[in-house]
């Protein structure tokens, strides 16, 4: 366990587990399930926010139902590592990029992108990404299906089971 997870007890883990299943669960319901007061849940949530364990909640959106029919992953090769910060600053401006990772392996940057069409994806790559100074080239992988989307099982993971 890391230093931060050492500061969590069974109640904290139970709270996290409930929220990972449904982040909209009201504090009063969490308190009922954990057999504690609502005030205790508020205190524990504040503690986990202060520790940086909880950074907010996330809405899961079905992008396809909103007309974003193309999901893909793009690996970026940088001309040189020193260009990283400037490239990241430019990529942050592109709303089509929904995840961005600094990685090991053949790519310096790996990102997840959603677009309305292949034409929009092509324009993103050719007219936005490839013109960023420091980007050498890219590899694109189109996602055909996402059969798994889930959170980790926090209770088992923290306990090391």
List beta partners, residue 143.
71
The pTM of the whole model exceeds 0.85: no
**What CATH code would you report for 5-58?**
1.10.10.10
Evaluate the CA torsion angle 70, 123, 109, 86 in order and state its sign.
negative
Q: What confidence tens digit (pLDDT) does each residue in 98-145 have?
A: 999 999 999 999 999 999 999 999 999 999 999 999 999 999 999 999
What tokens does 161 get?
A: 């089971």
Contact 154, 16 (CB under 8 A): yes
Question: Which CATH architecture best describes the domain 63-143?
Answer: 2-Layer Sandwich (3.30)
- For the chain, the structural domain boundaries read 5-58, 63-143
pLDDT in tens, 71-80: 999 999 999 9
Query: For residues 98 and 71, is the Cβ–Cβ distance under 8 A?
Result: no
């Amino acid at each position: 366990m890391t230093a931060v997870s050492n500061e969590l007890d069974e109640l904290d883990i139970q709270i996290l587990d409930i929220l990972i299943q449904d982040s909209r669960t009201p504090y009063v319901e969490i308190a009922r399930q954990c057999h504690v007061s609502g005030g205790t849940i508020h205190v524990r949530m504040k503690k986990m926010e202060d520790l940086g364990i909880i950074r907010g909640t996330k809405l899961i959106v079905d992008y396809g139902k909103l007309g974003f029919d193309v999901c893909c992953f793009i690996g970026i090769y940088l001309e040189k590592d020193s260009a990283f910060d400037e490239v990241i600053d430019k990529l942050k401006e592109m709303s089509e990029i929904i995840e961005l990772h600094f990685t090991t392996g053949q790519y310096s940057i790996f990102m997840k992108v959603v677009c309305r069409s292949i034409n929009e994806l092509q324009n993103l790559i050719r007219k936005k990404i490839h013109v960023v100074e420091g980007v050498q080239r890219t590899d694109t992988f189109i996602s055909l299906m996402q059969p798994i989307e889930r959170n980790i099982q926090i209770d088992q993971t923290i306990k090391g089971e």
